[in-house]
């Protein structure tokens, strides 16, 4: 079955194709569809729903959408939904002109900002810190959109911690902040995991398991 994926990100297409091997995952640019909805939501779920409904209104076929990002506890959840646009403490929601900050710069900013917050002497924001003061998590809200009155959502996390310096970044797999995201139980960064290992424990992988069950029950009968 063909399922449209509401993204222009080829890395996400690759991951979702691995997570849904029995289906053909198609992104808008594969069919020459112009797709760049304004993500005006304040949560991962809201942005995921915006993207899903926007693409469904074009193709009127099953659509998958996800919104994901990294949330750093010491920064009160920054960069969160702005992870892909994040441009440091002066531009936590991205630059006004929409310019994409290179990932290497985003990585440097997030480590520097975290280190500054932890060295300031200010108490950490209220909450639990399962992996210490450098605790962080990836969050993914995934929507299966079959129409305005028929949609399903799953939201999952992958818990870990940021490394202390960019020099400690490791691994060549994954994308985004993965080389900085350390998984204490595995003693590896997310970028050091094989595709299979990452899909088994990642925020997107766990959300996809839930959505795949729904796809099987509703669309594969």
Per-residue pLDDT of the chain (221 residues; tens, 9 = 90+): 899 999 988 888 988 898 888 889 999 999 999 998 999 999 999 999 999 999 999 999 999 999 999 999 999 999 999 999 999 999 999 998 889 999 999 999 999 999 999 999 888 877 778 899 999 999 999 999 999 999 999 999 999 999 999 999 999 988 899 999 999 999 999 999 998 999 899 999 999 999 999 988 876 65
What local confidence, expressed as pLDDT, does residue 216 receive? 82
pLDDT at 220: 61
109 is in an annotated binding site: no
Q: Which of 15, 194, 98 is nearest to 5 (CA)?
A: 15
**pLDDT score for 16:** 86
Architecture of domain 2-219: Alpha-Beta Complex (3.90)
Closest by Cα among 154, 114, 108, 113 to 131: 114
Residue 7 among known ligand-binding residues: yes
Name the active-site residue from 36, 67, 90, 97: 67
8 in a labelled binding site: yes
- Is 93 annotated to bind a ligand? Reply is no
Beta strands of the chain (E only): which ranges? 2-5, 24-26, 63-72, 135-145, 151-162, 181-183, 188-189
SS3 117: helix
pTM (global) more than 0.95: no
What are the residues whose beta carbons fall under 8 Å from the beta carbon of 196, sequence distance 6 or more? none
User: What is the number of alpha carbons within 13 Å of residue 69 lying toward its C-beta?
Assistant: 23
105 is in an annotated binding site: no
Reading the block at residue 184, the tokens are 């204490």
67 is an active site residue: yes
SS3 182: strand
Ligand-binding annotation for 60, yes or no, is no
């Amino acid at each position: 079955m063909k399922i449209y994926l509401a993204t222009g990100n080829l890395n996400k297409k690759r991951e979702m194709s691995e997570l849904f091997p029995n289906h053909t995952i198609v992104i808008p640019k594969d069919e020459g569809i112009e797709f760049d909805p304004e993500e005006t939501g304040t949560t991962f779920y809201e942005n995921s729903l915006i993207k899903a409904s926007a693409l469904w209104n074009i193709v009127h076929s099953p659509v998958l959408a996800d919104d994901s990002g990294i949330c750093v506890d010491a920064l009160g959840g920054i960069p969160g939904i702005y992870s892909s646009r994040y441009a440091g403490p002066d531009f936590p929601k991205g630059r006004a002109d929409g310019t994409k900050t290179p990932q290497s710069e985003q990585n440097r900013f997030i480590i520097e900002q975290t280190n500054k917050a932890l060295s300031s002497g200010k108490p950490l924001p209220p909450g639990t810190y399962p992996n210490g003061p450098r605790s962080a998590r990836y969050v993914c809200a995934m929507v299966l959109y079959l129409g305005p009155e028929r949609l399903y959502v799953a939201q999952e996390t992958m818990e870990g911690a940021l490394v202390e310096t960019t020099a400690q970044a490791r691994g060549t797999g994954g994308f985004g902040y993965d080389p900085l995201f350390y998984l204490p139980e595995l003693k590896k960064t997310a970028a050091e995991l094989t595709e299979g290992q990452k899909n088994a424990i990642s925020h997107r992988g766990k959300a996809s398991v839930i959505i795949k069950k729904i796809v099987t029950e509703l669309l594969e009968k």
